[in-house]
Amino acid sequence: MTSLSPARTGGTTGSGGGSPAERLDERLGDPDAPGTLFSYANCAVLDEREEFPARVCGLLDAMGFARNYVPAALGGDLENYQDTLQLMRVLARRDLTVAIAHGKTYLGAIAAWVGADPAQAAWLAAEVRAGRVVSWALTERDHGSDLLSGEVTAEPYAGGYRLSGEKWLINNATRGQVICVLARTGPERGPRSFGLFLVDKRRLPPGTWHPLPKVPTLGIRGADISGIAFSAAPLPGDALVGAPGAGLEIVLKSLQLTRTMCASLSLGAGDQALRLAGEFTAERRLSNRRLTEFPHTRRMIAEVFADLLLAEAVSIVGSRSVQALTGELSVVSAVTKYLVPTIVDEMITTSRDILGARALLTGVHAHGTFQKLERDHRIVAIFDGSAHVNLASLITQFPAIARAHRDGLTDEAGLAEAVTLSGPLRGLDTGRLRLMTRTGCSLLSGLPADFGAASLPAAVRPLAARLCEISAALHRELAEVRPSSDAMPAEAFSLAERYTVCYAGAACLWLWSRNRRWAASSAVSALWSDGRWLDACLRRVLARLGDTPPGGDDVFDGLHEVLVRRRDAGHLPSLLPHRLAGGDVPWEEGR
Ligand SMILES: Cc1cc2nc3c(=O)[nH]c(=O)nc-3n(C[C@H](O)[C@H](O)[C@H](O)COP(=O)(O)OP(=O)(O)OC[C@H]3O[C@@H](n4cnc5c(N)ncnc54)[C@H](O)[C@@H]3O)c2cc1C
């Protein structure tokens, strides 16, 4: 097996054989080529048949891809969350069903990396490395995101537990060998009444459990979305992860890691949307002109590209923050899980407008991939915490966020690590995860009012200054909110949405200012030169904040030009260097 192990700095170099993500892409082969197993065409056929992508998952297993779900300290390749984000994005860029079906094991195992004792963690690590499927069962039919109302019970019995009840809408509940189950261990309502159990289905006596039927879904149709019912299923005492009563806390901390990494699914979907819309505008002729020759269409494509870069900036900083700003991940993960799928949903909507009728046709254009993408991506905003859940989580943290901002409290070393792409990342210490941030959010608290006035390109300075003003005013508003879990004020949700957008703008500013020298000598230099992408992204940020800056035609035209050049040279449209396997279909040359 060729190792897919990550580079310490986050796979940004693109040299010496490429980043781990480039190498994976290369090994998977050209997704447009007829002989490639993990191809767009094959995935479209499987979706049509609602068939589980077993052969593609088998290919990933044969490559040892699941090693990326296991921390290096436990014998896996998971060392750097930014690399894992980009690796998962490679899968999602080809097909979300595969990424979600295979990647579920990462979600299922994560609670063990956060809360299990060394022996349990080592056992699960060996299972995952050997290709066993692990699923994660939190949700119940009558209690979606309301985990506190869960009714599955684990009753203490003969030194172990007896597990009873039903978990429903569980990814890989039927196919998985191991399932990590959140269950009530005490009758009283409250966060300390739950335990988390690693349930090895292979060891359960027959008749004590059964899988529930596959639930037909609008998107990711081939995935095993089913459930599992237990009836006094006996569990050994060592199935319990962490201390008795600590189950919900472990889940909430683990969700910070999974919510951040869900961004990889949306980024891959965003890559697909841009690819499909871009290729279409290059080949479609109307009134004897190609669609790209219409300024409005070019602008739409450029805005979709700018939004992808914005989502990518948030995701890169988020994934690096897992290690660099672990104590603030309660904020960072909620921002990332709310904003990245939201932006990509909007990109998909704009791409649908561009594609017109072909967005709706199943077999006519590009294997009908677009209508599949549109259906598939809808799930990302729902599972692992809906938009509402993530915004509510931010609202409960408003007091700490506002206080840290007022006092200028910033973890400077952590911030520098999170935003400096060529720098090393410390190892993840899960002991530093907090249910609520104590230090606010360094990315925004550390944003000086005159951010890099001298070092930013002249055209970008007024945009940056405006963002800093809006962010300062917003933080004053956050300080006025008194969150209560009983009734969150409705206006607080729009403040939380605005907060996530300010975070995105700050991520762009930090990334550009800390990496422009590195980028100048990399394969992405054209995108970074003169702050081209930064200008476009800040315009998109300000527009989202209701403050659309004047002009911008030249900025977006310039961005469109870079996009086309990068695509025609066989590179992924991204802030980071990434040569595509097969290069994809050119948009300009040879047409
Ligand atoms: C394809 C798929 C795969 C899944 N895989 C898994 C899995 O592997 N493991 C697992 O455990 N679960 C899984 N789920 C379940 C998923 O996590 C839940 O569906 C999700 O938590 C949301 O729950 P819900 O939509 O059922 O509804 P609810 O939580 O009942 O929410 C309904 C609506 O109310 C909103 N809402 C929620 N709380 C509040 C509130 N306090 N105030 C006001 N509005 C609120 C929500 O945002 C939503 O709009 C999966 C679901 C799907 C569709």
Secondary structure, 3-state, 328-340: HHHHHHHHHHHHH
Q: Which atom of ligand 1 is nearest to the CA of 167?
A: 11
Contact 387, 338 (CB under 8 A): yes
CB of residue 379 inside a 6 A radius of ligand 1: yes
DSSP β-bridge partners for residue 165: 230
CB of residue 144 inside a 6 A radius of ligand 1: yes
Of the candidates 180, 9, 166, the residue with the CA atom closest to the CA atom of residue 79 = 9
Of the candidates 188, 234, 229, 187, the residue with the CA atom closest to the CA atom of residue 212 = 229
CB of residue 583 inside a 6 A radius of ligand 1: no
Contact 503, 441 (CB under 8 A): yes
The 8-class DSSP code of residue 14 comes to -
Q: Which atom of ligand 1 is nearest to the CA of 383?
A: 17
Place of tokens 């009840």: 165
CB atoms within 10 A of CB 162: 17
CB of residue 143 inside a 6 A radius of ligand 1: no
Q: Which atom of ligand 1 is nearest to the CA of 488?
A: 42
Residue nearest (by alpha carbon) to ligand 1 atom 35:
388
**Measured between alpha carbons, how far is 338 from 515 in angstroms, rounded to an integer?**
26
* Residue of 143, 251, 382 to test ligand 1 pocket, by largest number of atoms within 8 Å of CB: 382
Q: What phi and psi, each to the nearest 5 degrees, are found at residue 17?
A: 95, 0
Contact 476, 382 (CB under 8 A): no
Tokens of 291: 């669609």
Place of tokens 């450029």: 302
Place of tokens 């022996």: 119
Residue 480: which residues within 8 A CB-CB, separation 6 or more? none
pLDDT number for residue 364: 83
The 8-class DSSP code of residue 550 comes to S
List, for the chain, all residue ranges whose pLDDT scores fall below the cut of 50. Answer: 1-16, 589-591
pLDDT number for residue 272: 97
CB of residue 319 inside a 6 A radius of ligand 1: no
Of the candidates 507, 416, 519, 576, the residue with the CA atom closest to the CA atom of residue 83 = 576
pLDDT number for residue 363: 80
Q: Which atom of ligand 1 is nearest to the CA of 143?
A: 30
**Measured between alpha carbons, how far is 198 from 181 in angstroms, rounded to an integer?**
7
Distance from residue 381's CA to the centre of ligand 1 (Å): 10
Q: Which atom of ligand 1 is nearest to the CA of 172?
A: 8
Q: Hey, what amino acid is at 191?
A: P
Residue nearest (by alpha carbon) to ligand 1 atom 24:
144
Distance from residue 491's CA to the centre of ligand 1 (Å): 22
Tens of pLDDT along 407-423?
999 999 999 999 999 99
The string of DSSP letters for 68-91 reads GGSBGGGTSSB--HHHHHHHHHHH
Contact 192, 250 (CB under 8 A): no
Tokens of 269: 């979907």
Distance from residue 388's CA to the centre of ligand 1 (Å): 10
pLDDT number for residue 588: 58
CB of residue 138 inside a 6 A radius of ligand 1: yes
pLDDT number for residue 591: 40
Of the candidates 324, 337, 329, 431, the residue with the CA atom closest to the CA atom of residue 386 = 337
Place of tokens 């940004």: 12
Residue nearest (by alpha carbon) to ligand 1 atom 17:
383
CB of residue 168 inside a 6 A radius of ligand 1: no
The pTM assigned to this predicted structure is: 0.95
CB of residue 225 inside a 6 A radius of ligand 1: yes
Distance from residue 89's CA to the centre of ligand 1 (Å): 23
Is 420 buried (19+), middle (13-18) or exposed (0-12) by CB count in 10 A? buried
Rg over alpha carbons for the chain, rounded to the nearest Å, is: 23
